[in-house]
Amino acid sequence: MKQILLITALVLLASCRSSTEKIQKTEEMESTTELSNKEKASALLTSLETGDKTPIGYINAAKYKQHNLGVADGLEGFGAVLQNAPEGGFKAKVIRSFQDGAYSFTHTIYDFFGPKVGFDIFKFEDGKIVEHWDNLAPITPPNPSNHTQTDGSNTIKDLDKTEVNKAIVKDFINTVLIQGEFDKMSTFFDGDNYVQHNSMIGDGLSGLGKALEEMAKNGVTMIYEKNHITLGEGNFVLSVNEGKFGGKHTSFYDLFRIENGKIAEHWDILETIPPVSEHKNNNGKFNF
């Protein structure tokens, strides 16, 4: 009798252990399949092309705030854009994606009412998107160094240096671009080793110098007035700034890659801000 009871107990114990292991494995699988915020942001953008409805669930419909001034606020505004898609639909290819705290930001090639390149920023709360900002510009031919607006490095590293790298970019933006201390520019670069993706400028500080000279000859001014937010992940840092380009109110989005404490690569998107009379929402372009 005792042997039977012992065997029964062992069987029950083994069964309990098996059930516990199954629960643990299920929980582990669920946790490993949970998308990161930047993966959710990328999936939402890609759904513009695929038509997948799942990523819509990543948006908090009750709190979603839109900062693209050409789109109405809320999920209704987002839906209206989808309903007005051109024949053949939209295209969206995410080239780079990053996250910094509550924010995720992406670098994407679009066919969105015409071929475009864009940076998108999403703010998350409790795993749901609650706000969206972006800067979009037409796709242009390769620059004088034969770089496109999106090619180049996309390997994220130096995660432990994120805050240091953000500080480097903030210092560069404030010292050189806002305060205009161009004599200090060289301190932020490793000699002429600098890869440039701006469609009008060649590689290196020499390429930047030539472009600035040409702009001055043609009376074109580029003025950075205020840094609104700086986001980063590892060796990549995105800086969002407000100013004027050619006298027009402009939003500057600049993505930098930092290598050994120096700016090594740069991508950017400039977007002219339309007059208030043309805004489809009242959330502002820079309210972070």
Q: What is the pLDDT of residues 51-102, one digit of tens each?
A: 899 999 999 999 999 999 999 999 898 888 878 777 777 899 999 999 999 9
Rounded to two decimals, the pTM is 0.87
| pLDDT surpassing 50 at residue 13 | no
Angle at 288 between CA 119 and CA 53, to 5 degrees: 55
pLDDT level of residue 166 (50, 70, 90 thresholds): very high
| pLDDT surpassing 70 at residue 16 | no
The predicted structure's pLDDT at residue 3 = 40
Mean pLDDT of 195-201: 95
And the tokens for 275?
């007059």
What is d(CA 255, CA 236) in angstroms, rounded to the nearest whole number? 7
The predicted structure's pLDDT at residue 27 = 44
Mean pLDDT of 249-272: 98
| pLDDT surpassing 70 at residue 9 | no
The predicted structure's pLDDT at residue 286 = 97
Q: What is the mean pLDDT of the chain?
A: 88
Number of alpha carbons in the 13 Å side-chain half-sphere of residue 171: 15
Taking only the tens place, the pLDDT of each residue in 129-161 is: 999 999 999 999 999 999 999 999 999 999 999
The predicted structure's pLDDT at residue 228 = 98
Residues 6+ apart with CB under 8 A from 161: 234, 235, 258
215 contacts 75 by C-beta, under 8 angstroms: no
Mean pLDDT of 93-116: 95
Lowest mean pLDDT among 20-34, 112-126, 181-195, 272-286: 20-34
Taking only the tens place, the pLDDT of each residue in 20-45 is: 444 344 444 444 478 999 999 999 99
The predicted structure's pLDDT at residue 105 = 98
And the tokens for 107?
């670098």
Mean pLDDT of 104-131: 96
What is d(CA 105, CA 118) in angstroms, rounded to the nearest whole number? 10
The predicted structure's pLDDT at residue 34 = 86
The predicted structure's pLDDT at residue 112 = 82
